[in-house]
Amino acid sequence: MLPFTLRPWRLDDLDSLVRHADNPRIAGNLTNAFPHPYTREDGERFINMVKDHEPTRIFAIEINGEACGGIGIHPQQDIYAKNAEIGYWLSEDYWGNGVITRALEQIVPYAFAQFDITRLFARPFHTNIGSQRALEKAGFKLEARLAQTLFKQGVYYDELIYSVLREP
């Protein structure tokens, strides 16, 4: 099993962030807020935005001393205030090693302990089978499939909604 650590992002993560994030196969499975190409300016903007959240909401996934991915909790507002979205990405170098499943298993109890929420959800593209499997292995249940909801680079994708509820 590949060891990893979840920790807050640091300014000295910039080089590894850019090296691992600048991949069209990663960006292709995420919203357009995750750019490709992924530049140093993108990385600086991201790290400066997230490094001082209290409590920490977006964590670096560190493998072999490098920030190789990220996983974050995104609390919702208004009538959705008891919900938070989980988002994540991982360097292609480490796909298929169970890292995201185990990161989800670590972050779910943290999210419920740190935030006043009762539901966590994730919204993978229907084509992202690896993400779907990771969510299912971590205890998330498929709630919905929204046909042709996502439009990226001229292609329509179904949006899947997976969730896990706080244990009573």
CATH superfamily entry for domain 5-123:
Gcn5-related N-acetyltransferase (GNAT) (3.40.630.30)
Nearest to 41 by CA among 63, 17, 60, 58: 17
On whether the CB atoms of residues 89 and 70 are closer than 8 A, the answer is yes
How does pLDDT run across 20-53, given as a tens digit for each residue? 999 999 999 999 999 999 999 999 999 999 988 9
Model pTM?
A: 0.95
Q: What residue spans define the domains of the chain?
A: 5-123
How does pLDDT run across 103-134, given as a tens digit for each residue? 999 999 999 999 999 999 999 999 999 999 99
